[in-house]
Amino acid sequence: MSQTFNLPDVGEGLTEAEIVSWRVSQGDTVDVNDVVCEIETAKSLVELPVPFAGTVQELVASEGETIEVGQPLIRISEASGEAEQRPASEKENAEKFSSDPAAADTPKDSPTQEQKRGEDRSPKGSGEEQNQALVGSGPKADAPKARPRTRPAALDLVDVSDVGLSHGTSGDNGRSSHESRLSNHSAADVVRRAAPPVRALAKRFGLDVAQLIGTGHEGRITRQDVEAQAHQTSGSTQSPEVVSLYEGPREEQVKVRGVRKATALNVSASASEVPHVSVFKEVDITRTMELRTALRNDPSYKNLNVSPMLFAAQAIIRAARKNPQVNATWHDSHYTLCNYVNLGIAAATPRGLVVPVIHDAQAYTTQGLAAALTALTAEAREGKTTPAQMQGGTVSITNIGSLGLDFGTPILPPGQASIVVLGAVRTKPWVVEGQIVPRQIMTIGGSFDHRLIDGDLAGAFISEVASIMEQPGLLMT
Amino acid sequence: MSDIRLADPTPVQLLAEDGTLTEHPVFSQYIEALDDEVLRELYRHMVLERRFDAEATSLQRQGMLALWVPALGQEAAQIGAIAALEQTDRVFPTYREHAMALYRGITPEELMGTFRATRHTGWDPHAFNFNAYSVVLASQVMHAAGWAMGIKQDVATGTLGEGRPDDELVLACLGDGATSQGDAHESMVFASSYELPMLYFIQNNHWAISVPQETQSRVPLAHRAAGYGFEGMRVDGNDVLATFAVTRYMAEQIRAGSGPKLVEAVTYRIGAHTTADDPTKYRTSEELDAWKSRDPIARYRTWLESRSIIDAAYTEQVDQEAAELAKQLRIAVRSMESVQLERVFDTVYAEPHRQVETEKAWLKDYEAGFAEEEEGADT
């Protein structure tokens, strides 16, 4: 007869392990507790001793393979004369061995009816010798085994108001008090008689569940009972339509792939590695908006997308020159200052978030930058942005204003020290020379790599960007 | 205010690492008073536990135990202390006092119930004067103080239980890590205030899982006793004779009414914190090797042999007994039956309780509501 040693859970709640090396080969003779292999779990390297003696019949898993807890590891053909491995004699030996039956609650008494039934539900061995493992080895631990119910359980445990003062009552009061409780309308009774969705339905109709008469099994209040009562109460011939906002399957598993997967990897790496710091500033960009109108009317900007982002991009290129650390990459032992601006433009596309880059953005004229932005945005929307176009960014912009938002703390793209966030342009009351006047206001802010950029530097940079947006004439300086 | 001297940072040692016995003005007499049979028993119990421990570790690796907490390397500290006490002294163990438990007569099957997850506690604490293992760090130290307060009041009111001596003491076991728990502080404050008959027995095995002892305390742990107003002492926990002598010395004073005392047994956890731990991740092999060379059993065996207290036949016999113990442990673990859930209700309160009874009845009723799946099953 052969015995199978299944991969046990050697830690607490491990699910799998990798076979690092086998210490035995097929045909080898092993004794109980001989180490047969080394495995690596999520926690540690562990040497596994075999629970049987005999000859190695098969190494089921191979080196380098990762197998789940409970999967077969090695098969041993039983050595002769290993009587103690057999469950029947185990019982006898165990009884002989235990010293004092009265000393503790050892399970040596003949099994009661309940115990027998408990055994019936424990995992059963197949034809193969089982080693009654607790975790992993042997039959799959905790294999769920649903048995049909013959009758509903009486869930009358909630009412404990009359419980707890008297000692020594008989054990069956769960039943004896059952009848009396059926008649009252306590909260516990309601809980027992109406399921949560039914109670919720009654609440929507403004009905008191306690007053309803249940027509269901054992006096249960059903959905129909509630609807019938509601119908009666309203006197209407039409029962109100109950619409569920959440129709369809209760949960759905969606495979993570493509842009979603790349975004998830990037942001989790960045968020866990880079300490982010954010600053914001509200800016009056009325003059920028006036300039935008002027450019839109300029024939050389025909068909080009002239947005506040264009001016923000120009402002960032200027401000980064004055505050070079925002345009840098952190490498722990040193950081790289960039004497160019590769401007990443975060774009929400049907495929997900992509950040195409305008390389050497500092080399463009305003018109050229507008053209580049227009082309890049169109490509991104069409899903044509190539991975190469997303490489090498040094500073990025994200325009959450297009989503109607004002503030946000973006996660830095990997390798970048700054990302500027632009809010929506809103006409707001603003104080200009002592007068409250309507002006066009935008929140400008950003997230920064705090290892390199402290709040004062982030503030200086954002203030510089803000000054230019406030007075775009500064772009001519 | 009494003036308490700080413990000597150098642990008391009688048996050097090479197995030579040195004279000590205070402690040697406790060893000289022992006959050879007792000395042999100390050895036997250490060897038995070590084999038991190894088998349990294997059983866990084979999926037969949910967890095991190795005591490897701490045999002398445990056996030295427990052997120095009376059977009537109450022990409040952590979850690693296997040598003490076996010494008190708890069977492998009883000891393994918790680790096999078939029992909350496998033994009757009253039958062995050995409390349930406590997995919640340092909680047992509080329970120990409570028990000692009970003893003190029973003595004062003349209501001691039948057969209980009036000089019973309480052994509160804890590890170096547990000394950082608030519970340890509270327990020691109460023990001192009430002058409780307690011996705090710290097994300083140097690692609180992965936190080294130096991080837990910048001074010897035994120094802490002085802060509470009682005496602490350091002993070489890998020296079974010194641990025995110091424990008995302290116990004598406690029985004479001194109030609490503290012993810090300086030892080392050779194995992992538990089978779910990988110590190679936080300590060096050099450190481990240095402590392996101070093995508690090897040095004691060398001395016993040099005095001809044991011979090859004896050690062979003990090894065989240990092998048999391991075999019986394996059989016991494999034949353990699951706990009956209903039993849980019976141990909540000492006296019948209506709510518990109601819940038990409900469970019974609920369980009975399932269709039987096999012919011939009970109805």
Give the pLDDT confidence score for residue A60 in this predicted structure. Answer: 92
The answer to whether residue B371 scores a pLDDT higher than 70 is no
DSSP annotation of A326 reads G
Catalytic residues of A: 450
Is B353 close to A113, i.e. CB distance below 8 A?
Answer: no
A395-399 and A343-349: which strand pairing?
parallel
Structurally, at CATH architecture level, domain A176-234 sits in: Irregular (4.10)
Task: Find where tokens 């120990």 sit.
Answer: B144
Per-residue pLDDT tens digits for B207-226 = 999 999 999 999 999 999 99
Ranges assigned E (strand) in A69-189: 72-78
CB distance from A33 to chain B under 8 Å? yes
The answer to whether residue B343 scores a pLDDT higher than 90 is no
Q: Which of A51, A91, A100 is closest, CB to CB, to B62? A: A51
Give the pLDDT confidence score for residue A166 in this predicted structure. Answer: 38
Per-residue pLDDT tens digits for B146-198 = 999 999 999 999 898 888 898 999 999 999 999 999 999 999 999 999 999 99
Taking contacts as CB-CB distances below 8 angstroms, the residues of chain A near B369 are 149-153
What is the secondary structure of B168-227 as a DSSP string?
--EEEEEETGGGGSHHHHHHHHHHHHTT--EEEEEEE-SEETTEEHHHH-SS-GGGHHHH
Is A150 close to B371, i.e. CB distance below 8 A?
Answer: yes
Per-residue pLDDT tens digits for A107-153 = 444 444 444 443 443 343 333 444 456 655 444 444 445 666 776 66
Per-residue pLDDT tens digits for A324-362 = 999 999 998 999 999 999 999 998 887 788 899 999 999
Closest Cα in chain B, distance from residue A34 (Å):
9
Nearest CA among A60, A62, A64, A68 for reference residue A16: A68
Among A5, A92, A106, A156, which would you mutate to test the B interface (most chain B Cβ atoms within 10 Å of its Cβ)?
Answer: A106
For residue A419, list its beta bridge partners. Answer: A396, A447
Is A173 close to B361, i.e. CB distance below 8 A?
Answer: yes
ipTM, 2 decimals?
0.73
CATH code of domain A258-476: 3.30.559.10
CB distance from A15 to chain B under 8 Å? no
The residue ranges of chain A whose pLDDT is under 50 are 81-131, 137-144, 158-184
Give the number of beta-carbon pairs within 8 Å between A and B.
198
Taking contacts as CB-CB distances below 8 angstroms, the residues of chain B near A50 are 62
Structurally, at CATH architecture level, domain A2-100+111-121 sits in: Beta Barrel (2.40)
Between CA A83 and CA A87 the distance in angstroms is: 9
Share of chain B above pLDDT 90, in %: 78
In chain B, the residue whose alpha carbon lies closest to the alpha carbon of A32 is B58
Between CA B47 and CA B102 the distance in angstroms is: 12
Per-residue pLDDT tens digits for B82-135 = 999 999 999 999 999 999 999 999 999 999 999 998 888 889 999 999 999 999
Domain ranges of chain A: 2-100+111-121, 176-234, 258-476
